[in-house]
Structure 1
């Protein structure tokens, strides 16, 4: 393996299309609650609207030689963004500032998991999120059935807050 991390500008977010779609299939395969909700989730319905609604976006792709094998997408968004027709993701009054940080999407191809690559991506995202002085609250939303992701994030000092959509998503926060 010849792993390289590349921060990409918003204009190159298409680099993540195939992996984002793989992430949705992976999440559906793990889901025990409402897996059918993933039928309409893909790059066009998840990543594009998220990027458009965010104030700031941060994307890192992982390459093995020239092949993209993973990515992380984080953003800074107005807290009101997280109360919409789909769900209210957290109690807006629990966030004192106007904006929140979110580690929104995170995916590595299976052969690259358990090698420390995810920790590097996570650390890069947290460093970026922490660079915003006007943001104190960070969220990660984990789909049901993805126990490895829950374990990974709680090992990184995020704490379980609550479930939404009848358990479809677990909400994790940097603090309670």
Structure 2
């Protein structure tokens, strides 16, 4: 493996299209609570609006040679962005500052898991998120059935706060 970690700009998010769509398919395959909610989730409905609506974005792709095999997407957004028609993701009054940090998406192709790529992407994202003085609350949202991801984030210091949408998503906070 010849892994290259590359930070990309918002204008280059198209490079994440295939992996983002794989992530949505993966999440649906794991879900045991309303998996049909994933039917309309894809790059165009999840990543593109999030990138456009965030104040700051951080996107890292991982290449093995020229093949993109993983990515992470994190953002800084106004706390109100997490209360919308889909769901209210956390108690907005519990966040003192106006913005929150979110590790929004991380995906690694199956054959590349267990090589530390997830830990490196997590660490890169957290290093980026904590540099902003206008943020002190960090969130991760894990879809139901993705127990490995849930345990990974707990191991990394995040705490399960609650679930939303009748258990469809687990909210973790740090």
Stretches of structure 1 lacking an aligned partner (at least 5 in a row): none
Say what the alpha-carbon RMSD is for the aligned residues.
0.4
1:41 matched residue in structure 2: 41
Moved runs in structure 1, 4+ residues, more than 3 A?
Answer: none
Deviations 1:8-61 (A, max 9, x none): 011111000000000000000000000000000000000001011100000000
2:100 is matched with which residue?
100
Normalising by structure 2, report the TM-score: 0.99
Per-residue CA deviation, residues 147-170 of structure 1 (Å, 9 max, x unaligned), is: 000010000000000000000000
The residue number in structure 2 matching 1:10 is 10
Aligned to 2:55: 55
TM-score when scaled to structure 1? 0.98
Q: Unaligned stretches of 5+ in structure 2?
A: none
- Give the whole-Å Cα distance in 2 for the aligned partners of 1:66 and 1:133: 36
Q: CA deviation at 1:118?
A: 0.5
**Could you tell me how far apart the structure 2 residues matched to 1:43 and 1:117 are?**
22
Match of 1:30 in 2: 30
Corresponding residue of 1:164:
164
